[in-house]
Each structure stands twice: as C-alpha cells, then as structure tokens.
Amino acid sequence: MPVDASLLLDIARRFQVLGDLLSAVPYGTGHINDTYVVTCDQAGEPVRYLLQRLNTKIFKTPRGLMKNIEEVTGHIRGKLKRQGEPFTRRVLTLVPLADSGVCFLDDPELGFWRCYLFIEGARTYDVIERVEQAFEAAKAFGAFQSLLADYEGPSLHETIPDFHHTPKRLAALKAAVAEDPLGRARDCEADILFALERAPLAGRLVGLQAEGAIPERITHNDTKLNNVMLDDATGAGVCVIDLDTVMPGLSLCDFGDMVRTACNPLAEDDPDTSRMVARGDMFEALASGYLQGTGGALLPVEREHLVVAGQLLTYECGTRFLTDYLLGDTYFRTHRPAQNLDRARNQFALVRSLESQEEAFMGRIRNLV
C-alpha cells in the first residue's frame, strides 16, 4: 500500500533524523517490506536514512524481531569497536525514536516502522554480474556468521518458526494441493509431482541436524545476494543487511540459499527454462568466499553437504512458490498472473541442473581451503 508523501515525512520525523527533512520516497526492489529513503539537509549536506515499514503479515512478532536485530547489530558493533572501527559501515545502525530509546514505531494506524542509517558508497545488486561479486557476498555472509559465533546474549526469538524446515514446507504444499482453493492444481500436475518425488532430499539437512551431525548457529536465513551491500569503489562486501530472519539455524541453509540465487543464470521468474544451466563458476566462488568468511568454522560434514544444500534450498523455495501459487499468491508479491508458478518452475529447473552437475560441483570444491 503506497504511503502518502507528507505522511511519510511525519513518520520520519518520529525518528531521530537530524537536520531539515527534505524528502521521503520509495526505494529499492525489496519483495517483503516497504522501503523508503529519507533525505535531510544537515548544514547544507544531504544526509540519507533508510525508513522501512515492516510487513507484519509475514513477520507476526515484530517486537521480537526488532529485539533480535538490536542484539545482533549491538554484538557486532561492540566487536568492531574493539577492533578499532567505532563508526563502522559494516553493520546496520538502527535510529531510535526521537522521544525515546525505542528502535521502532508501532502504531495501530501507521503500521510498524523502523529507521536505519543509510549506508553510502555501496549498493546491492539484484542480478549478480561477476563471480567476484558472488565471492564477496558469500564472504560477507560467512563473516557475519563468524562475528556472531560467540554471541551470548539473550536467546534469539524464532521470527518465522520452522523457516527452513523443508519437510514441513513439503507438507504445506501437500495441504495446498488437497485444498486447491482456486482450482489451480490442474495447471501444475507435473510440478507437484516433481516436488513430491523429492521428499528424501527435503529431509536431508533436518535429518543431519536431528542426528547431531551439524550444529545450530546464528544464521541470516535470507542470504540473497541483494542482501549484501558491496562497496562502489572496491566491490568488497561492506555490510550484511535485511536482518529480519536472523535466528538460530543451519549454516548450510544460508549457503544453499546463496547457491539458489547466484547459480541461476536466469531471472527468478523467467518461464523459459530451456536455457537453465546452473553456473559452476558461481558455485565455486560462493564456496570459496563462504569458507574464507567463516574462517575454518565449518565442519567436514558441512563442507561435504555444500552441494546438496544448494539443491535443497532451491527445491524448498520452488516448493514455497508453488504452494503460494496454489493458495492464491498471498505470501510472495506478484506483478502478473501465474508469476509464482513461473518462479516455481524456474527453481525446479535449477534443481534439475544442480542435480545433474553434482559430481562436477563436488570436484570444484574438493581442493578449496
């Protein structure tokens, strides 16, 4: 829902934004929250802030979510400060409300809002153009996780329960097929079958976790490459953003989701999947960056499952798109009819390609350090 420009300025004013407010306009290409950039005049210099309305249909416990973000950014900032980086761009900085130290605005009419300092001199890329970008983004996500490895604060809130519990995602698909409220299942029988046939894949990571073979850590859980800001001048990863889903989880889920986005040579909703060949060069760059960023913290069993993780997370996402298509596109925003079905087909085509190249991908990471 678009917000009126003068109302936006009123909302921005509720936060500790310094200087004269000049403008507040929609910003970026995020799918989930509504994002705006606010510009203020600070003694003749334009200074920007990032204002966001949280999507509370998806994030049903926004206060717990904000507490997570405060804890996690506070932990990282403390560490970077001790390393001599007091005013760092390497972690998001929440701007509190003007009249209290609270870091969000929760208003029955206006909705749930937060504000960040704008990270200048860096940007996100919706489409990864070069392997170096994949390497840098993966390294940043790996480093983010290792910065949080010694977090000992209050236990983090589970923002979306069972977010990467793939068997439950498959169960949700089965329920949607059974209900089929819009009669759409007949358009996608082959896609449903594809998902159902891969029940064993769905259970692999939760199975390893249940056996105690892979540990739970603090993970990002939305490691699309457009959630890392890359420096305009050097291309290096500057800051991991979009922390709504930070919570306990599996490293392999973070890695697999990167594979899903970076190894896809097509746009996520491209219906012409005849040209779908998963990019091995991107996979190698991601694995190399992630191993460097996590600094040797990954266990051998985690390394061995990097390839499977890519297949699994791509499969999980395709399953979610298909479920949402069947249920009437209530979760993922669509801009045209059947877009979620196209997204599901695109993801499943990527799964096929990742599966058929499994040996080659394993070979690419065997000798990485």
Instruction: Point out which residues bind ligand ADP (CB under 6 A).
Output: 27-28, 30-33, 35, 50, 92, 116, 118-119, 124, 226-227, 241-242
Q: Given the complex with Mg ion, which of 32 and 143 has the nearer CB atom?
A: 32
Residue 249 CA to residue 148 CA, distance in Å, equals 12
Across the beta sheet with 111-117, the strand order is 20-26, 34-42, 45-53, 111-117, 105-107
> Nearest residue by C-beta to Mg ion?
242
CB of 227 to Mg ion, least distance (A): 5
List, as one string, the DSSP characters of 321-369: HHHHHHTTS-SS--SSTTHHHHHHHHHHHHHHHHHHTHHHHHHHHHT--
| Residue 30 binds to Mg ion (criterion: CB under 5 A) | yes
**Strand locations in the chain (E):** 20-26, 34-42, 45-53, 105-107, 111-117, 122-123, 217-219, 228-231, 237-240, 247-249
Residue 169 CA to residue 319 CA, distance in Å, equals 7
From 32, 50, 147, 177, residue interacting with Mg ion (rule: CB under 5 A): 32
Choose from ligand ADP, Mg ion, none: what does 103 bind? Cβ within 5-8 Å by kind.
none
Q: Given the complex with ligand ADP, which of 227 and 353 has the nearer CB atom?
A: 227
Report whether 50 contacts 123 (CB < 8 A): no
Coil, helix or strand for 26?
Answer: strand
Q: Given the complex with Mg ion, which of 76 and 188 has the nearer CB atom?
A: 76
Q: Which residue stretch of 28-36, 81-89, 183-191, 288-296 sits at the interface with Mg ion (rule: CB under 5 A)?
A: 28-36
Choose from Mg ion, ligand ADP, none: what does 92 bind? Cβ within 5-8 Å by kind.
ligand ADP
**Would you state the structure tokens that stand for residue 354, as one six-digit string?**
């990742």
Binding residues among 236-255 for Mg ion as defined by CB under 5 A: 242, 244
| Residue 55 binds to Mg ion (criterion: CB under 5 A) | no
Report whether 137 contacts 237 (CB < 8 A): yes
CB of 246 to Mg ion, least distance (A): 10
| Residue 92 binds to Mg ion (criterion: CB under 5 A) | no
CB of 355 to ligand ADP, least distance (A): 28
The angle that helices 189-197 and 306-326 make with each other, rounded to 10 degrees, is: 140
CB of 130 to ligand ADP, least distance (A): 18
Positions touching Mg ion (CB under 5 A) are 30, 32, 227, 242, 244
